[in-house]
Structure 1
């Protein structure tokens, strides 16, 4: 059994679930996402460089699309 565990370094925890959203075309109203800081939410609106995401029942945040994409802050939730 000397070959066990050899591939474990290739699969980092961040690579699970397809990874961060990097393309503006992936951002659509109604999409469930997880923000690195704010946690799970649902995209309410995308307009220009602004994106509105509802976190929880009442916490609506207006964020920069460029910032979210460039820093990899959003991941899709299945």
Structure 2
């Protein structure tokens, strides 16, 4: 469609896609963090109210995971143009 409307204008679809993908990754990370925090909270609630011998180990693991969630990210600073041939 682009070529029909703008036959003499070169469109670099890769640039548009990379911009969209970077934006989508930001959204995906926000959603993943929310999901993880909610899941950890629910799991903690279950394990805090049990006398299972593994409860302390599970709770320590949940605490450790929860501390790492703020650092969750997807690297999007790649330069895909350097690989073109």
| Structure number with higher strand proportion | 1
TM-score (norm 1): 0.28
Larger radius of gyration: 2
| Structure number with higher helix proportion | 2
